[in-house]
Structure 1
Amino acid sequence: METFAVAGLPEIRAGDDLAALVGERVDFEEGDVLCVASTVVSKAEGRKADLSAFPPSGRAEAIAARLESVTGDPKDPRFAQAVIEESKALLTEAPFLLAATRFGHITVNAGIDRSNVPGADLLLLPEDPSASAEHLSETLDVPVVVTDTSGRPFRYGQRGVAIGWASLPAARDWRGESDRDGRELGVTVQAVVDELAATANLVAGEGGGGTPAVVVRGWAFGDHAGSDDLFRREEDDVVREALEEWAFDG
Structure 2
Amino acid sequence: MELFAVPDLPEVRPGDDLAELVEERVDLRPDDVVCVASTVVSKAEGRHADLDDFPAGPRAREIAATLEELAGEEKDPRFAQAVLEESTDLVMEAPFLLTETRFGHVGVNAGIDRSNVADADLLLLPKRPSESAERIRAGLSADRVVVTDTCGRPFRHGQRGVAIGWAGMPASRDWRGEHDRDGREMGVTVQSVVDELAAAANLVAGEGAGGTPVVVARGFEFGDLGGSDNLYRDLDGDFVRQALRGWSFDG
Residue of structure 2 equivalent to 1:103? 103
CA distance in 1: counterparts of 2:136 and 2:119, whole angstroms: 25
TM-aligned CA deviation for residue 138 of structure 1? 1.7
Residue of structure 1 equivalent to 2:125? 125
User: Matches of residues 199-214 of structure 1 in structure 2 within 5 Å?
Assistant: 199-214=200-215
SS in structure 2 at match of 1:203: helix
Percent identity between the two aligned chains: 70
TM-aligned CA deviation for residue 174 of structure 1? 0.3
User: Matches of residues 128-167 of structure 1 in structure 2 within 5 Å?
Assistant: 128-141=128-141, 142-167=143-168
User: Matches of residues 89-100 of structure 1 in structure 2 within 5 Å?
Assistant: 89-100=89-100
Runs of 4+ in 1 over 2 A off after TM superposition: none
Counterpart of 1:28, as a letter, is L
* 1:249 to 2:250 alignment: yes
CA distance in 1: counterparts of 2:51 and 2:187, whole angstroms: 48
Deviations 1:33-84 (A, max 9, x none): 0000000000000000000100000100010000011111210000000000
CA distance in 2: counterparts of 1:73 and 1:204, whole angstroms: 32
Residue of structure 1 equivalent to 2:35? 35
SS in structure 2 at match of 1:248: coil
Residue of structure 1 equivalent to 2:224? 223
TM-aligned CA deviation for residue 89 of structure 1? 1.0
TM-aligned CA deviation for residue 139 of structure 1? 1.6
CA distance in 1: counterparts of 2:28 and 2:74, whole angstroms: 47
Counterpart of 1:230, as a letter, is L
Q: How many residues align?
A: 250
Deviations 1:205-237 (A, max 9, x none): 000000000000011001211111100011211
SS in structure 2 at match of 1:137: helix
Counterpart of 1:180, as a letter, is R
CA distance in 2: counterparts of 1:13 and 1:114, whole angstroms: 16
SS in structure 1 at match of 2:84: helix
Q: What is the root-mean-square deviation of aligned Cα atoms in Å?
A: 0.7
Counterpart of 2:208, as a letter, is G
TM-aligned CA deviation for residue 30 of structure 1? 3.0
CA distance in 1: counterparts of 2:62 and 2:228, whole angstroms: 41
SS in structure 2 at match of 1:150: strand
Residue of structure 1 equivalent to 2:23? 23
TM-score, L = length of structure 1: 0.99
Residue of structure 2 equivalent to 1:198? 199
Structure 1 unmatched runs, 5+: none
Counterpart of 1:218, as a letter, is G
TM-score, L = length of structure 2: 0.98
Deviations 1:116-138 (A, max 9, x none): 00010000000000000011112
Residue of structure 1 equivalent to 2:181? 180
SS in structure 1 at match of 2:139: helix
Counterpart of 1:173, as a letter, is D
Structure 2 unmatched runs, 5+: none
Q: Is 178-187 or 137-146 further displaced after alignment?
A: 137-146
Residue of structure 2 equivalent to 1:51? 51
CA distance in 1: counterparts of 2:42 and 2:7, whole angstroms: 19
